[in-house]
C-alpha cells in the first residue's frame, strides 16, 4: 500500500494506480487514503484539521465549513468538531481519518487496517461506515488482518503472504471453492462407508450419529447413495467456509506474516 | 498555495513544540542577563570611571546579544530538522503526502515556516539590541536592516543544512553535527587558527564552511561605527548576503533530492 501511495519505492516489479505511476498527483487527486497507525496534529481541532487537508486536496468548494460539517456528521463527530484532536479516542481518530479521506470526494478509498486497535463497538461503527460508502458507489481498497471484516466488506480479495500473492479472486468464488456439506445419518454399513469415501467424503462416527462431510457438488449423489443403501438421512446442511479457513489452508497455521 | 498551507500549518506546530519552548526560556534567561548587566553597570558608573564602565557594559551587552544570536542558530537547526523528523515519526506525514502534493512542495513549505520563525526571532533580537543599548545610554550606529538580514541569512543556511541532514538523521544527531561545525567556524576565526593553519587548508575551509561573515558578523555589531559600515558599499553587503543564500539554496536543493527518494514510513 505504501508503494501504491508513493510513500516507498519498489525494488522490483511494476504498479499503477488509476492508470498512473504510484504517487502521481493525478491519481492522488482521485484517491482518499486512510493510513495504518496514522496521526493527526494534536493541537488542531477536527474542523481546522479538515480545512488544512481540504486545502491540500486542491478541491474547490464554495462553502468549506458546510462540507466539513457534513463530513463530520457522516462519521458521527459533529458534536466534537471543536475538540482538539489530541483528546480524541482511538475510535474517534479512525472516524476522523475516514472523514479526511473523504474530503476530496474520491472515487477510490484506500483503507489500511481501518479498524485496527478498535473495540468491537468501534469496529462495527467503522465497518458500517465503510459499507455505507460502498453502497454509495465508492470503490474500497481495504487491507486488513481481520479476515471476517474483509469477507464482510469486499467483493474481491487477494491473499498475500510474505509479499507474494497466494490467491486472488471474486469473494463468492473464493468462499464457494471450499464449500462443503454435512450429512447426518443414523447408521452406515461398511460397504456404504467405502463407497462414500470413494466420492471424496469423510466419515466421522459419533455416539448416536454419523457425520459425513463431502463436497457440495457431491451432495445429491451422496444423499441418494445413502438412501438407497439403507441409511436414514437425518439432515443435510451446508458448511460455509470462511476466508480465514482458506487463508490458513493456503498459508498455514502459525506461519503467517 | 499548497506551499503556503504547509508553511502556515508548520508555523502553527512550532508554537506547540516543547523543545522550542525550552529554547524560549533560554532566550529569556539570556535577555534578562543582558538587562541585569545594563542596570548593574548603570548603578556603578561614576564621573571618574564612566569610560571604563561603559566599555564593560558594552562588552557584556555584546555577550548577551551574541548568545541570543547563537541560540538562534540552534533554534533554526532544531526547527528545520524536527519539522521533518517529527512528521515521519508521528505518522502525520502519511495523510499529508496522500494528498496531491509534491514532496518538494512539502519541504519548501517546511523551510518557509522555519524562515518565518527565524525572521520573527531576528527582528526580536534586533529590538532587544536597541532596547539594551538605549537603556544603557549607548550610542548605536548599526543599521536596523543589517541586524535582521545578516542573522537571517545565517539562519537560512543552518536551517537548510539541518533540513538536508534531517532527511536521513535524527534531529539530535543533526544538532550535534551543527554544534561541531559552529565550533570549527568559531575556531577558524581565532588568531591562533589564522596564524597556524596553512593557507592551503584555510582557503578551502572558508569556501566550504557556511560563513557569510566576511563583511559583518554579530560580534562586530558593537564596535562597528556608521563610518566603518559605510566603508563597504551596498554591493558588498548584497554579495555577502547572496553568497549566504546561495549556500542555503544548495543545501536546500540537496535536501529535496534526498527527500525525493526516501521512504516516508517509520520502518
Residue B194's closest CA among B202, B186, B205, B184?
Answer: B202
Residue A146 shares a structural domain with residue A63: yes
8 A C-beta contact, residue B159 and residue B248? yes
Q: Which domain does A188 fall in, by range?
A: 180-239
**Which pLDDT score, from 0 to 100, does residue B113 have?**
96
Residue B121's closest CA among B23, B246, B188, B1?
Answer: B23
Residue A56 shares a structural domain with residue A113: yes
Residue B86's closest CA among B13, B161, B24?
Answer: B13
Residue A119 shares a structural domain with residue A30: yes
Residue A110 shares a structural domain with residue A204: no
The Cα B41–Cα B30 span in angstroms is: 17
Residue A50 shares a structural domain with residue A111: yes
Q: Which of A8, A31, A56 sits opposite B96 (nearest CB)?
A: A56
How many residues would you count in chain A?
257
CB contact under 8 A, A53 and B95: yes
Query: Which of A39, A60, A97, A116 should be substituted to probe chain B, the one whose Cβ sees the most B Cβ atoms within 10 Å?
Result: A39
Q: Which residues of B touch A6 (CB under 8 A)?
A: 97
CA distance A8 to chain B (A): 5
Residue A34 shares a structural domain with residue A133: yes
Q: Which of A9, A35, A42 sits opposite B95 (nearest CB)?
A: A35
CA distance A51 to chain B (A): 10
Alpha-carbon distances of B197 from A218, B185, B187, B204, B211, rounded to whole Å: 93, 13, 11, 12, 17
Residue A74 belongs to domain with CATH number: 3.40.50.300
With a CB cutoff of 8 Å and minimum separation 6, the contacts of B82 are: B17, B19, B166, B171
The structural domain count of chain A equals 2
Burial of residue B62 (number of CB atoms within 10 Å: 0-12, 13-18, 19+): buried
With a CB cutoff of 8 Å and minimum separation 6, the contacts of B39 are: B135
The Cα A184–Cα A149 span in angstroms is: 31
CA distance B93 to chain A (A): 8
Residue A79 shares a structural domain with residue A116: yes
Q: Which residues of A touch B264 (CB under 8 A)?
A: 2, 7-8
ipTM field? 0.78
Whether chain A has a CB inside 8 Å of the CB on B123: the answer is no
Residue A81 shares a structural domain with residue A193: no
Does A162 map to a domain? no
Q: What beta strand segments (E) does B43-149 contain? A: none
The Cα A231–Cα A222 span in angstroms is: 11
Query: Which of B11, B21, B92, B98 should be substituted to probe chain A, the one whose Cβ sees the most A Cβ atoms within 10 Å?
Result: B98
Q: Containing H/E element for A234?
A: strand A233-239
CB contact under 8 A, B94 and A55: no
Question: What DSSP designation does A85 have?
Answer: G
The Cα B249–Cα A102 span in angstroms is: 37
Q: Containing H/E element for A168?
A: strand A164-170
- The cell for B79 is 526547527
- The cell for A97 is 481519518
Residue A184 shares a structural domain with residue A130: no
The tens place of each residue's pLDDT in chain B, 267 residues long, gives 899 999 999 999 888 888 888 988 988 988 888 888 888 877 777 777 777 777 777 777 778 888 888 888 889 999 999 888 888 888 889 989 999 999 999 999 999 999 999 999 999 988 888 888 788 777 666 677 777 888 888 889 889 999 999 888 888 888 888 888 877 777 776 777 777 777 777 777 666 665 544 444 444 443 444 444 556 677 777 777 787 788 889 889 999 999 988 888 876
**Which pLDDT score, from 0 to 100, does residue B222 have?**
38
SS3 state at A178: coil
Does A252 map to a domain? no
The tens place of each residue's pLDDT in chain A, 257 residues long, gives 888 888 888 888 888 888 999 888 999 989 999 988 788 888 889 999 999 999 998 888 888 889 999 889 888 888 898 889 889 888 888 888 888 988 888 889 999 988 877 778 878 888 888 888 888 888 999 988 888 888 888 889 888 888 788 888 888 877 776 678 889 998 888 889 999 898 888 898 888 889 998 888 888 888 999 989 888 899 998 887 778 888 887 777 655 55
The Cα B10–Cα B55 span in angstroms is: 43
**Which pLDDT score, from 0 to 100, does residue A52 have?**
92
Q: Cα B152–B213–B117 angle (5° rounding)? A: 10
Residue A79 shares a structural domain with residue A40: yes
Q: Which residues of A touch B13 (CB under 8 A)?
A: 41, 43
Residue A141 shares a structural domain with residue A215: no
Does A124 map to a domain? yes
Residue A78 shares a structural domain with residue A149: yes
8 A C-beta contact, residue A69 and residue A81? yes
CA distance B51 to chain A (A): 52
Amino acid at each position: 500500500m505504501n508503494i501504491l501511495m508513493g510513500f516507498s519505492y519498489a525494488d522490483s516489479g511494476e504498479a499503477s494506480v488509476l492508470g498512473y505511476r504510484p504517487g502521481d498527483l493525478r491519481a492522488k487527486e482521485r484517491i482518499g487514503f486512510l493510513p495504518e497507525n496514522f496521526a493527526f496534529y494534536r493541537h488542531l481541532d477536527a474542523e481546522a484539521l479538515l480545512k488544512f487537508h481540504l486545502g491540500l486536496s486542491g478541491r474547490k468548494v464554495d462553502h468549506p465549513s458546510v462540507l466539513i460539517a457534513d463530513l463530520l456528521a457522516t462519521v458521527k463527530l459533529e458534536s466534537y468538531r471543536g475538540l482538539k484532536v489530541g483528546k480524541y479516542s482511538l475510535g474517534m481518530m479512525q472516524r476522523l481519518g475516514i472523514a479526511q479521506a473523504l474530503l476530496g470526494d474520491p472515487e477510490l478509498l484506500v483503507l489500511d487496517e481501518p479498524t485496527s486497535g478498535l473495540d468491537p463497538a468501534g469496529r462495527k461503527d467503522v465497518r458500517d461506515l465503510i459499507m455505507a460508502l460502498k453502497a454509495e458507489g465508492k470503490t474500497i481498497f481495504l487491507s486488513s488482518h481481520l479476515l471476517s471484516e474483509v469477507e464482510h466488506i469486499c467483493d474481491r480479495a487477494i491473499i498475500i503472504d510474505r509479499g507474494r500473492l497466494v490467491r486472488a479472486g471474486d469473494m463468492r468464488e473464493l468462499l464457494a471453492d471450499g464449500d462443503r456439506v454435512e450429512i447426518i445419518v443414523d447408521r452406515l454399513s461398511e460397504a456404504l462407508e467405502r463407497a462414500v469415501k470413494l466420492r471424496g467424503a469423510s466419515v466421522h462416527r459419533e455416539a448416536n450419529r454419523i457425520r459425513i462431510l463431502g463436497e457440495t457438488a457431491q451432495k445429491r449423489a451422496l444423499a441418494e447413495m445413502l438412501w438407497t443403501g439403507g441409511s436414514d438421512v437425518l439432515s443435510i446442511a451446508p458448511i460455509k467456509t470462511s476466508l480465514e479457513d482458506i487463508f490458513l489452508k493456503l498459508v498455514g497455521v502459525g506461519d503467517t506474516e | 498555495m499548497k506551499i503556503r498551507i504547509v508553511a502556515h500549518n508548520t508555523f502553527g506546530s512550532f508554537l506547540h513544540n516543547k523543545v522550542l519552548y525550552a529554547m524560549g526560556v533560554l532566550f529569556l534567561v539570556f535577555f534578562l542577563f543582558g538587562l541585569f548587566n545594563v542596570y548593574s553597570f548603570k548603578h556603578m558608573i561614576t564621573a571618574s570611571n564612566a569610560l571604563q564602565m561603559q566599555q564593560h557594559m558594552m562588552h557584556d551587552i555584546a555577550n548577551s546579544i551574541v548568545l541570543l544570536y547563537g541560540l538562534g542558530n540552534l533554534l533554526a537547526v532544531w526547527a528545520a530538522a524536527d519539522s521533518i523528523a517529527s512528521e515521519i515519526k508521528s505518522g502525520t506525514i502519511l495523510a499529508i503526502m496522500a494528498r496531491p502534493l509534491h514532496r518538494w512542495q512539502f519541504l519548501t513549505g517546511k523551510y518557509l515556516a522555519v524562515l518565518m520563525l527565524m525572521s520573527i526571532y531576528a527582528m526580536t533580537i534586533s529590538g532587544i539590541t536597541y532596547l539594551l543599548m538605549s537603556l544603557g545610554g549607548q550610542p548605536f550606529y548599526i543599521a536596523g536592516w543589517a541586524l535582521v538580514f545578516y542573522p537571517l541569512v545565517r539562519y537560512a543556511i543552518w536551517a537548510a543544512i539541518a533540513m538536508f541532514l534531517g532527511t536521513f538523521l535524527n534531529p539530535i544527531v543533526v544538532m550535534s553535527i551543527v554544534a561541531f561545525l559552529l565550533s570549527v567556524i568559531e575556531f577558524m576565526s581565532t588568531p591562533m587558527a589564522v596564524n597556524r593553519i596553512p593557507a592551503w587548508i584555510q582557503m578551502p575551509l572558508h569556501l566550504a564552511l557556511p560563513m557569510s561573515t566576511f563583511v559583518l558578523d554579530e560580534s562586530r555589531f558593537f564596535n562597528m561605527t556608521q563610518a566603518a559600515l559605510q566603508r563597504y558599499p551596498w554591493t558588498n553587503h548584497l554579495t555577502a548576503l547572496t553568497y549566504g543564500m546561495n549556500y542555503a539554496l544548495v543545501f536546500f536543493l540537496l535536501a529535496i533530492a534526498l527527500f525525493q527518494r526516501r521512504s516516508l514510513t517509520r520502518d
